[in-house]
Amino acid sequence: MQRKAFCLLLITILLASACSRLTFVRPKGKMEHLSGEQIAQDYSVSDSPEVKRRQTVRTLLARAVQRLQSGQADEAEKDARAALKLEPGSTDAVTLLGIIEDRRGNAVLAGQHYRRAAELAPAHGGVQNNYGTWLCANGFAAESLVWFDRAVLAPGYATPASALSNAGSCALKSGQNDRASRDLRRALEIEPANAVALEAMAELEFHRQQYMSARAFVERRLAAGPATAAVLKLASQIEDRLGDKAAASRYVQRIRAEFPDAQDVTTGGNAGP
């Protein structure tokens, strides 16, 4: 299976990684998007030391997000660590440190932060999903599945389709096709236009040699969101197997026009059974 882009969301306060746009939880840059339980309360005594501490944590995290988005990773890290010093159990701060290390290309350090966040908040679906996403993106697809299961089962988890689509994509990557089909179809029942699930289903049906079904899923995927070189290549391979050389060639032409740096874009590619 080709490496894809995981759409990481940052829980509580999307970067590309691997599996068609798997979902991670990512900073939006606004304080109202910080949704962790420890910082989402209403305060009645605005000038108490506790309130001031919490407000300072919120401000530091929001500023860290803004700085990271502006490319100031070092300054963002200082703010995130300052927030963590004030609130040692902040999953937002720990997850943000993971994202910073991801941006720097320090995958091992990033994974340590994501795991710590998941352990700090075992009932928080977002951080469980994040760590599962990191595992799958870094060569531990089979190991990631337990974390996606925890995310789906987390009380009040608002986006189970995200974890299910990630789980299905990673199950496919680890060769667990039955589980992949189960989780991806569950994701699509909840969110019919989920791009991660649609692309993974297209790939699954392609490898099962169910090419008409694969075509239907890849067309839905292309309608659901921006194309990637990977999904266009898959579409070309599907059309090649169906015998529509003209359609396969059109997808290859799109790759060359839209993704000029893409490698191995001959008609039909070299994947498939």
Domain ranges for the chain, please list them. Answer: 6-159
Burial zone of 75 (CB within 10 Å; 0-12 exposed, 13-18 middle, 19+ buried): middle
Give the length of the chain: 273
Average pLDDT over residues 65-88: 96
Q: What are phi and psi of 7, to 5 degrees?
A: -85, 100
Q: What is the pLDDT of residue 263?
A: 76
Give residue-wise pLDDT tens across range 55-74: 999 999 999 999 999 999 99
Q: For domain 6-159, is the CATH number 1.25.40.10?
A: yes
Give residue-wise pLDDT tens across range 106-119: 999 999 999 999 99
Q: In terms of pLDDT, which residue wins out, 193 or 22?
A: 193
Q: What is the pLDDT of residue 48?
A: 85
Q: What are the structure tokens assigned to 171, written together?
A: 């199950």
Mean pLDDT of the chain: 85
178 falls in which pLDDT band (50, 70, 90)? very high
Q: Residue 183: how many CB atoms within 10 A of its CB?
A: 27
DSSP 8: E
pLDDT of residue 14 exceeding 90: no
HSE (side-chain half, CA atoms, 13 Å) at 214: 24
